[in-house]
Structure 1
Amino acid sequence: MKKGAMKAVFGVAAAAFLAAPLVSFAGGTIAGKVTYAGKAEQKEFSFSKFPNPKFCPKNPNKSLMDGDKRFLKTIEVAKDGGLKGAIVSVVDIEDQAFQDGFKGTDVTAEFCEFLPFSGVVVNNKNFRAENKDADPDDPKSTLGVLHNPHSFVVKGSSSATGFNIGLAKKGDKLEKPVTFRGGAEKQGFYRLQCDQHEFMQSFFLPVWNPYHAVVKDDGSFEIQGVPAGKHKVVVWHPFVGKGKLNEFEVEVAEGGSATLKAEIK
């Protein structure tokens, strides 16, 4: 073949290569919805039985209160059965790089409420809490409303204290490692409660890879980048089924999307 013809063929091939779409897969997606067939539940408290009975009702989320009553919404269910606050997690993948790089878990105390209500933690990685409350109308609390975050490692019917530290002033922070022992990170969860205001509670599922999600308010979720193959997925809620892990099997195709419709009881 002549040199000119070779250049022409090469040029056509190069043009075709550049025109072709560049396809790159990085796993697949698990998407779906968590539903609950039961009814919504809540625990009831009286503001007058706890410190700061005038400040705590200033919480902008008025669904949490009715007069002197303060509610801890333990189970919230949408009209179509979507379960709020659930965690979905792929549990058959150990990702040490993810665990090493995990930056920690953050919680804030705002208007006598721990936010978020549910989330994730990684064993031996830090848990941080910050007090954002102060009451300018109370001479004793102008610098800060005292909160006392108290964490527990929960496994079955037993629990053990992780830390118990008072945060007296607005802006006070704590940072302590989450510590699960005896395999509790595979079977238990992490609970946070304020020793000053019992209705302030949050709950966290231990994870060991990035393939997890906190569902949206309607129970829907999406987990991207999941390696192709069959996987064991757990769906967890701290109050549904007494916090048991609900197991499902999902098969993910490379570059594809798998659907998980998880009804838990």
Structure 2
Amino acid sequence: MKTGALLGMSGLIAASFLAAPLASFAGGTVTGKVTYAGKAEQKEFLFSKFPNPKFCPKIPNKDVMDGDKRFLKTIEVGKDGALKNAVVSVRDIEDKAFMDGYGGTDVVAEFCDFQPFSGIVVNKKMFRVENHDSDPDDPKSVKGVLHNPHSFEVKGPSSSTIFNIGLAEKGSKLEKPITLRQEKAGSFFRLQCDQHEFMQAFFLPVQNKHYAVVKEDGTFELKDVPAGKHKIMAWHPFAGKMEADVDVPEGGSVKADFQVKK
């Protein structure tokens, strides 16, 4: 599967001001919804072509499988067109205190699935993965199902390895700082298991605390955004990205809706 390419798209952005004074004046709030005008997309894999073909289908989320087929839901669309797994963030604020204090990003490998599917990272800060899998019914995997988290910096069609480390036992962990050399050019972070290709996760680099992964219905809320004009971006690893300019009122809120289509 070709990964890392941000798909071309156009979008419709609706922004409106809502006068809603707050008791304290710590900035304003940005709310909205991210929707997708196209159809859901997924890639299919056969469990039988990968290690642990009896254990991996035990995943509790049966929506990602059908018999011997495992699905990687590259674009998942919910009710009323909600674009699931999109990340929204303020792009024009560089908060050194936030970046210095960021504790790191955590991922778990559970039932041959990386969780979460999408999130954020901070350049030069820690990225952690913990293996939760073992199979008592398989003598070779009693101590652990081998996962091999392989991370990449992705920019357009190109990607470069950041780390590639095997986690052989249940409870084994890796903790590595990540370096994104093309962050300012729009790169993102991708994680894939070299043992099970359908295990993938994607992360947007941010430089401030004003970000959110959208809810199931595609909505988001960014609180305490400094008053003034800002650039807000909605990003999805397969659907693409789009931006809106908003004017955040002190003690009030502004609405920014993103409708993404290829």
TM-score calculated relative to the size of structure 1: 0.89
**Identity score, percent:** 71
1:1-265 aligned at under 5 Å gives the runs: 23-181=23-181, 183-241=182-240, 245-265=241-261
Q: Are 2:28 and 2:249, in contact at CA under 8 Å, matched by a contact in 1?
A: yes
Q: Which of structure 1's runs of 4+ aligned residues deviate more than 6 A?
A: none
5+ long unaligned stretches in structure 1: 1-21
2:174 aligns to what SS in structure 1? strand
The CA deviation string for residues 66-90 of structure 1, in whole angstroms up to 9 with x for no partner, is 0000000111111300100000010
Give me the whole-angstrom Cα distance separating, in 1, the residues matched to 2:124 and 2:215. Answer: 27
Q: Which amino acid aligns with 1:225?
A: D
The Cα shift of 1:218 comes to 1.2
5+ long unaligned stretches in structure 2: 1-21
Q: Are 1:87 and 1:236, in contact at CA under 8 Å, matched by a contact in 2?
A: yes
Q: Are 2:183 and 2:205, in contact at CA under 8 Å, matched by a contact in 1?
A: no
Q: Tell me the residue number matched to 1:15.
A: none
The CA deviation string for residues 193-246 of structure 1, in whole angstroms up to 9 with x for no partner, is 0000000000000000001100011111101000001100111000003xxx31
Give me the whole-angstrom Cα distance separating, in 2, the residues matched to 1:250 and 1:136. Answer: 54
2:139 aligns to what SS in structure 1? coil
Q: Tell me the residue number matched to 2:6.
A: none
Q: 1:185 to 1:104 in 2, by over 3 A?
A: farther
* Structure number with higher relative contact order (C-alpha < 8 Å, ≥ 6 residues apart): 2
Instruction: Give the structure with higher Rg (CA).
Output: 1
Q: Are 2:99 and 2:122, in contact at CA under 8 Å, matched by a contact in 1?
A: yes
Which structure shows the bigger proportion of residues in helix conformation? 1
Give me the whole-angstrom Cα distance separating, in 2, the residues matched to 1:27 and 1:237. Answer: 27
Q: Are 1:43 and 1:71, in contact at CA under 8 Å, matched by a contact in 2?
A: yes
The CA deviation string for residues 87-123 of structure 1, in whole angstroms up to 9 with x for no partner, is 0010011100000000000000000000000000000
The Cα shift of 1:184 comes to 2.7
The Cα shift of 1:185 comes to 4.4
Give me the whole-angstrom Cα distance separating, in 1, the residues matched to 2:68 and 2:99. Answer: 43
TM-score calculated relative to the size of structure 2: 0.90
